[in-house]
């Protein structure tokens, strides 16, 4: 049955992703429901702390804290940074399903059958849309089941709208990837630019929530319309206007993308004016070289473009968020001043959680941002591991190994280049935050800032090291899936584990827990050495496996 149409075949290819993303994201809501319900029932102190935190304007950098003492409101707030991650799968899937198949020549074979280009494009995109709807369905049903288990009032309709809202947002970014891929010759630039736009959307939405009269800035982001709907909060529900805006935007972009697909040559791209053309580097032939330094230099050249784009994008994000945080702190200062005049005792309570704008309080709140930046750096490490797995799977290493280079030298040189790339990205983050903090008058401990930036590198190396290890036995798609699941689980453990008082042994499994809070407590040298040791062990096993395996499988 699955091979009777392009739609069904493509949907079958996504079966693992549908279950993985649907269950992986979906299980979070009932876990939060069960955990926070127990905490709020048995610990009035936590309830009082949440009420105080809800008054903190700085938290609006991450999400709008609405009714966070209710399990539905708390889940909406806490998962606000997690739920949009489905968009990452959507943009990767869309860029791979058309432009990716053109790269490998698979689309040429498909178009040789009696099917029009319009039919091929629409059926493949319809399969992506159906996959997202199935992911959203699982998320909604699991949220409903979690609510029923804990006795919360949540209608099935609202739970399903919760999942549908996630699917609509993801489809918007998938549609953006479709349009951008018409102007590039490869899938990676299109996916990278769409990912950068997803990050920019977070910045715009945060600015719209925190800057005075800045709501218009938030409206420029699809995330703004996603956050208008809060189906898990009783009495709030889904916002039809916001969901319709997402659906309309997705349809318009899909229509534009498909119209461009049917009008250009297969394997070609839409020609822009010279000033607007994307500068893509032509692939260079691998030269027969003897020096170990040449293998390392070649590895650096191959990673130069992604390192530059990731570094500049993440550094820009770090700088913008730092500036927005400073503005939020100034808003807090005004709030505290007005409260001190009317209710001094209440102002003292808020001040205990907010701080006074000194280097200590600045570090405490900026550390929340650095944890997110560490997640991004870890994701960059994942992409670097993915490039290695892709080069091996697609035969791009065979020409290099045809020269008198040992396999151990090749893999070690490539990983050394990965280390340099991670250092460059961390360095750009450090420079951006340092300059922005100086420009907006935010006092920070410079040594702690250096520690926080450099501490991201071992986290990225662990992810890349285990990616290289997995690539010795598994295909690229499985390597990416396993590493994504690991990062996702680590983020959840760090985000909610301490509040729910999960066992410390469980929390230590999170790679971000090993990172800690360098801006506040300094860098944990023992933890960093542990991460470096783990990456060294993984790389050693990966090197042994790569030296002995048959690349052709």
Helix count and strand count (H, E) for the chain: 26, 0
Q: Which two tokens stand for residue 248?
A: 């309309």
| Cα separation, 316 vs 427, whole angstroms | 12
What phi-psi label fits residue 508: left (phi over 0), alpha (psi between -120 and 50 degrees) or beta? alpha
Are 361 and 355 in contact by the 8 Å Cβ rule? The answer is: yes
**Closest listed residue to residue 479, CA positions, set 400, 397, 381:** 381
Q: What is the pLDDT of residue 290?
A: 37
Q: What ranges in 86-229 are assigned the alpha helix state H?
A: 86-95, 101-104, 106-111, 117-150, 156-181, 187-210, 215-218, 222-227
Cross-strand bridge partners of residue 230? 237
Cross-strand bridge partners of residue 237? 230
CA angle 14, 19, 23 (to 5 degrees): 150
Q: Which two tokens stand for residue 221?
A: 């982001």
Are 517 and 497 in contact by the 8 Å Cβ rule? The answer is: no
- In order along its 553 residues, the chain shows pLDDT tens digits of 656 788 999 999 999 889 988 988 888 888 888 878 777 766 676 677 777 666 666 677 778 888 888 888 888 888 888 888 899 999 989 998 888 888 877 777 777 777 888 898 999 999 999 999 999 999 999 999 999 888 888 899 999 999 999 999 999 999 999 999 998 888 888 888 898 899 889 888 988 888 777 788 989 999 999 999 999 988 888 999 999 999 999 999 999 999 998 888 877 777 665 555 555 544 444 443 334 457 888 889 889 988 998 898 899 888 888 888 777 766 666 655 555 555 555 455 445 444 445 667 778 778 888 888 999 999 999 999 988 988 888 777 877 776 767 889 899 999 999 999 999 999 999 999 999 989 888 888 889 999 999 999 999 999 999 999 999 998 887 888 889 889 888 888 887 777 677 788 888 889 999 998 898 888 899 999 999 999 999 999 999 999 988 875 5
Under DSSP, is residue 237 helix (H, G, I), strand (E, B) or coil? strand
Phi then psi for 230, rounded to 5 degrees? -135, 70
Q: What is the pLDDT of residue 28?
A: 85
pTM: predicted TM-score of the whole model, two decimal places? 0.80
What phi-psi label fits residue 403: left (phi over 0), alpha (psi between -120 and 50 degrees) or beta? beta
Q: Which two tokens stand for residue 487?
A: 């990062």
- Is residue 503 exposed (0-12), middle (13-18) or buried (19+ Cβ within 10 Å)? exposed
User: In the chain, what are the domain boundaries?
Assistant: 1-28+81-268, 292-553
């Amino acid at each position: 049955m699955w091979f009777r149409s392009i739609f069904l075949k493509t949907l079958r290819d996504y079966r693992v992703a549908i279950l993985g993303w649907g269950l992986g994201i979906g299980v979070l809501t009932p876990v939060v429901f069960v955990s926070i319900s127990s905490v709020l029932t048995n610990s009035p102190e936590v309830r009082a702390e949440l009420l105080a935190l809800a008054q903190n304007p700085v938290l609006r950098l991450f999400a709008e804290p609405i009714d966070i003492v209710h399990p539905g409101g708390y889940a909406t707030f806490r998962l606000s940074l997690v739920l949009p991650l489905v968009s990452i799968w959507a943009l990767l899937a869309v860029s791979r399903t058309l432009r990716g198949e053109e790269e490998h020549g698979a689309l040429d074979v498909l178009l040789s059958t009696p099917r029009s280009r319009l039919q091929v494009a629409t059926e493949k995109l319809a399969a992506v849309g159906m996959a997202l709807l199935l992911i959203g369905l699982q998320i909604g049903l699991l949220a409903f089941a979690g609510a029923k288990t804990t006795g919360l009032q949540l209608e099935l309709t609202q739970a399903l709208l919760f999942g549908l809202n996630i699917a609509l947002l993801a489809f918007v970014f998938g549609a953006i990837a479709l349009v951008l891929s018409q102007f590039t010759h490869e899938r990676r630039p299109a996916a990278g630019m769409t990912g950068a736009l997803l990050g920019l959307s977070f910045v715009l939405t945060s600015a719209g929530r925190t800057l005075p009269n800045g709501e218009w800035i938030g409206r420029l982001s699809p995330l703004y319309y996603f956050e208008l709907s809060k189906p898990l909060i009783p009495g709030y529900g889904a916002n039809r206007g916001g969901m319709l805006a997402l659906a309309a935007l997705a349809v318009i972009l899909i229509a534009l993308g498909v119209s461009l697909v049917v009008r250009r040559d297969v394997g070609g791209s839409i020609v822009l004016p010279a000033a607007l053309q994307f500068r893509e580097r032509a692939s260079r032939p691998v030269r027969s070289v003897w020096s170990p330094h040449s293998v390392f230099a070649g590895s650096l050249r191959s990673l130069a473009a992604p390192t530059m784009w990731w570094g500049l994008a993440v550094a820009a994000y770090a700088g913008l968020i730092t500036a927005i945080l400073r503005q939020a702190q100034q808003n807090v200062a005004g709030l505290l001043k007005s409260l001190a005049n009317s209710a001094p005792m209440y102002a003292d309570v808020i001040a205990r959680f907010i701080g006074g704008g000194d280097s200590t309080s600045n570090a405490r709140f900026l550390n929340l941002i650095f944890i997110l930046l560490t997640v991004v750096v870890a994701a960059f490490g994942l992409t670097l591991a993915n490039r290695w797995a892709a080069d091996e799977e697609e035969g791009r290493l065979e020409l290099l190994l045809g020269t008198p280079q040992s396999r151990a030298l090749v893999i070690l040189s490539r990983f050394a280049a990965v280390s340099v790339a991670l250092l460059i990205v961390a360095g750009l983050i450090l420079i951006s935050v340092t300059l922005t903090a100086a420009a907006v008058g935010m006092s920070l401990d410079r040594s702690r800032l250096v520690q926080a930036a450099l501490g991201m590198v071992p986290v990225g190396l662990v992810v890349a090291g285990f990616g290289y290890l997995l690539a010795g036995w598994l295909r690229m798609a499985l390597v990416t899936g396993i590493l994504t699941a690991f990062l996702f689980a680590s983020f959840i453990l760090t985000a909610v584990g301490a509040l729910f008082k999960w066992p410390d042994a469980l929390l230590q499994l999170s790679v971000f827990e090993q990172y800690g809070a360098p801006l506040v407590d300094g860098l944990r040298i023992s933890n960093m050495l542990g991460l470096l040791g783990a990456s060294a062990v993984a790389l050693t096993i990966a090197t042994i496996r790569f030296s002995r395996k048959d690349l052709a499988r």
